[in-house]
Structure 1
Amino acid sequence: MTLHIDQESAPATSRLRALLHAGAPIPVIDAYDALSARIVESAGYRAIWASGLGISASFGLRDNNEASWTQILDSLELMAEATSVPILVDGDSGFGNFNNVRRFVKKIGQRGLAGVCIEDKAFPKANSFAERTHELCPAGEFCGKIRAAKDSQPDDDFVVVARTEALIAGHGLDAALARAEAYRHAGADAILVHSKATTAEEVAAFAARWGGRAPLVVVPTTYADTPADTFQRMGVSLVIWANFTLRAAIQGIENACAAQQANGGAPEPGDARYAPLKRVFELTDEQELRAAEQHYMPAAEDGPAPARLRAAGS
């Protein structure tokens, strides 16, 4: 089934759902704050992954539910305000039980987020690539979280993605398929099968046996060199690049700082490592403020204009 949606005027929920059913793998990249989300949108991506790892790291915290869900919510609200493309939220394991899930879904729905992905790890979750034992939530309990999310969604097009970590936890392909099928019956709109294998063979085996029962989502962090046509053959709907802007930002800042230190603490003139200030002003929509001032501030002949308040931190 292919859904045809007006990508300009349709609600974010409808646009994300249409991408799930586009009939070809759609690349989705991460953002971790409002500025990175705006950069991703300006690069032409049709959807954004609001990365739990990225948002936690932006607070200087581990991806271990150390940030409260209200702190996460504040970041998500700014990201949604800064962009127009649909945002799929990394909802970790739901920040608790079914009641936490329904509260979280209700709140992100109020803020215009298009969907949420919840994973079947026990709370508090650990990052899938952390060197530790990964404990899964009982499948029946997780099905209750899925139902709670669907019952709390803002509209019928809101997307709930159920993410199984069975392969990450070492439970094998049969367990991953059994959990995915249970989650589909519980109402999940799509299944994300996660793997830390270095090739796509594990997720390809899952996809072959899954047989398109519901849209399939993958996160090829450890098998990033997989050709795009492989995902097409697998019948994947979304390919989420879940932590790449975060890692690019870290590497870019470290490289810039190292270069300045090597140059006596000052940047080289014309160094291409640094975006021009003009680009910063573009990303923060300075031009809109100039236009608004012309519209709302009195002209000189109308008398003295009220003093402009100095912005905090300027």
Structure 2
Amino acid sequence: MTPPDTLRALLSEERLLVMPCCFDALSAKMIQQAGFDLTFMSGFAASAARIGAPDLGLMSYGEVLDSARNIREAVTIPLIADGDTGYGNAMNVRRTVQGFARAGCAAVMIEDQLAPKRCGHTPGKAVVTRDEAFDRIRAAVDARAESDILILARTDARHDHGLAEAIDRAATFHELGADILFVEAPRSETEMSQICDELPGAKMANMLEGGATPDLTQAELKEIGFSIAAYPLTLMSAAMRAMDAALSALAADHPRDELLMPFGDLRRRIGFDDYYETSSAYESSSRPGPSDRD
């Protein structure tokens, strides 16, 4: 099946899809190796990893698309890409959606923030008018008709306009044809339940450790009615903490063995063993023949 078809099949199972978010090809590969069914390229994490800068609209569409392509080439599980605001007007949204579809992404997220966008759990974010928000999703859905990909529609209206406005926007997103709904940053379990009770279709919860939304268990999220639980910074935060510990040990000339993955496991996870196994079938062609020696 195509990546969009695979994601549709997963959503039809009516279970909670636990989705660790990646920031590059290696982190995505490790997510697949750990047995997870899908991943999401976190804009926050990808911006930090690729340009060493915060997720404040600094990374361009071309850079985000290139990162998505690299991830797609490394894994076979469905990838949801962060399309931010669509990088412009409705026509830019169409191009953004089509670009991620051609890159092999299963879905793309389009949101209603005012550009330049911000992380959903940081201050200073604002949303566009209802009409502009609806135009973005309408354009994304139109682009989907030309290039198969699912649309994950996000609203950040809860921050400035309250939960009722956010739910109303998301409901219209569904009416316009969005496949998955994402109301960012509800502030209580009651609000999370209201989102699932009042909105149709598949809903995504964003489990940002330390963020505005309660960090519920997977069983609680499933009971409330979410279809996807995204963990946007779990891997990046863990990786940064591990690197910080290793650098501190190195600076102090302390032993590092307990901080490191064994070298054999490192090679295997990256793909050296698979490479050598596959390349062994072509060893004869790499040896010089009679004409090569003459």
Q: TM-score, normalised by structure 2?
A: 0.90
Range that drifts further, 108-117 or 220-229: 220-229
1:73-222 to 2 correspondences below 5 Å: 73-132=65-124, 134-153=125-144, 158-167=149-158, 169-195=159-185, 197=187, 199-210=188-199, 213-221=200-208, 222=211
Range that drifts further, 285-294 or 240-249: 285-294
CA distance in 2, matches of 1:305, 1:240: 55
Q: Which runs of 4+ in 1 moved over 4 A?
A: 154-157, 303-306
When residues 305 and 236 of structure 1 are mapped into structure 2, their CA distance, relative to the original with a 3 A threshold, is farther
Q: Identify the residue that residue 293 of structure 1 maps to in structure 2.
A: 279
C-alpha RMSD over aligned residues? 2.1
- 1:105–1:116: 8 Å Cα contact kept in structure 2? yes
Q: Identify the residue that residue 66 of structure 1 maps to in structure 2.
A: 58
- 1:17–1:158: 8 Å Cα contact kept in structure 2? no
CA distance in 1, matches of 2:168, 2:80: 25
Range that drifts further, 218-227 or 55-64: 218-227
CA distance in 1, matches of 2:228, 2:272: 33
Range that drifts further, 73-82 or 219-228: 219-228
Corresponding position: 1:268 with 2:255 = yes
Q: Secondary structure at the match of 1:18?
A: helix
Q: C-alpha displacement at 1:190, in angstroms?
A: 1.4
Q: Secondary structure at the match of 2:32?
A: helix
Q: Which of 199, 222, 233 is 1:243 aligned to?
A: 233
Range that drifts further, 294-303 or 83-92: 294-303
Q: Identify the residue that residue 310 of structure 1 maps to in structure 2.
A: none
Q: C-alpha displacement at 1:54, in angstroms?
A: 0.8
CA distance in 2, matches of 1:196, 1:255: 33
Amino acid at match of 2:229: V
Q: Which of 269, 274, 289 is 1:302 aligned to?
A: 289
CA distance in 2, matches of 1:189, 1:125: 22
Query: Which stretches in structure 2 are left out of the alignment for 5+ residues?
Result: none
Q: Deviations over 1:41-61 (max 9, x none)?
A: 101110001100111001212
Amino acid at match of 1:239: A
- 2:83–2:109: 8 Å Cα contact kept in structure 1? yes
Number of residue pairs the alignment of both structures matches = 288
Q: Identify the residue that residue 254 of structure 1 maps to in structure 2.
A: 244
Q: Secondary structure at the match of 1:121?
A: coil
Q: C-alpha displacement at 1:173, in angstroms?
A: 1.9
Q: Secondary structure at the match of 1:23?
A: coil
Query: Which stretches in structure 1 are left out of the alignment for 5+ residues?
Result: 1-9, 307-314
- 1:25–1:236: 8 Å Cα contact kept in structure 2? yes
When residues 303 and 291 of structure 1 are mapped into structure 2, their CA distance, relative to the original with a 3 A threshold, is farther
When residues 252 and 144 of structure 1 are mapped into structure 2, their CA distance, relative to the original with a 3 A threshold, is same
- Identity rate of aligned residues, in percent? 27
Q: Deviations over 1:80-132 (max 9, x none)?
A: 00000000111111122212211111111111111011111011101122222
Q: Identify the residue that residue 309 of structure 1 maps to in structure 2.
A: none
- 2:98–2:147: 8 Å Cα contact kept in structure 1? no
Q: Which of 247, 267, 273 is 1:281 aligned to?
A: 267
- The structure richer in helix per residue is 2
CA distance in 2, matches of 1:227, 1:205: 17
CA distance in 2, matches of 1:289, 1:304: 28
Amino acid at match of 2:201: A
